[in-house]
Structure 1
Amino acid sequence: MSHHPYVGMWVTADGHIRHELLADNRYDEARGSRHSVYQGRYEVRGTHIDYWDDTGFTADGDFVDMNTLHHAGMVLRRQR
């Protein structure tokens, strides 16, 4: 189980991309009206996050602060 402070929903400004970081080190990504487009596992080390999609795709990102995630050229904000 994750014990980092970043568990929760992260969303682009237009709401099109939504990453839900789950406490069991899994994530679920929605795009537009499509739910669960990408799913996989993730690992957070400090402020860095690595993603491993169930299809084999990998990605990473960095938390700039408690409310901002830079990921694959996108900026996501924590949704409360």
Structure 2
Amino acid sequence: MQTTIEETKEYIGMWVTNDGYIRHELLPNNRYDEARGKRKSAYQGTYDISGNHINYKDDTGFVADGEFKEGVLYHAGMILYKEK
């Protein structure tokens, strides 16, 4: 049986698009902070993880989701990589 990212907690940390424009920081308290370009904290909200799936809800009520596959986060047409 394969271990999920929910079990390993490897989702915690900074996830970044290849060009560095979008940066999602997934915090251990189930909050996230998203930067876009030079705009820090462009979006903030909560998230929850179920298996390899992530659900986001920003502080304005907007919702989105994504999927972790082989160490990559696929979210709303974007591909994000864990920053090391």
Instruction: State how 1:1-80 maps to structure 2 within 5 Å.
Output: 4-65=9-70, 67-80=71-84
TM-score of the pair, normalised by structure 1: 0.93
Structure with the higher helix share, 1 or 2: 2
| Equivalent AA in structure 1 for residue 38 of structure 2 | S
Aligned-residue identity in percent:
60
TM-score of the pair, normalised by structure 2: 0.89
Structure with the higher strand share, 1 or 2: 1
SS at match of 1:14: coil
SS at match of 1:44: strand
**Larger-gyration structure (1/2):** 2
Which consecutive residues of structure 2, in runs of 5 or more, have no partner in the other structure?
1-5
State the Cα distance separating 1:5 from its structure 2 match. 1.9
Number of corresponding residues = 78
TM-superposition CA deviations, 1:25-48 (whole Å, max 9, x none) = 000000000000000000000000
**Stretches of 4+ aligned residues off by more than 6 angstroms:** none
SS at match of 2:10: coil
State the Cα distance separating 1:22 from its structure 2 match. 0.1
Which consecutive residues of structure 1, in runs of 5 or more, have no partner in the other structure?
none
The CA RMSD over aligned residues, in Å, is 1.3
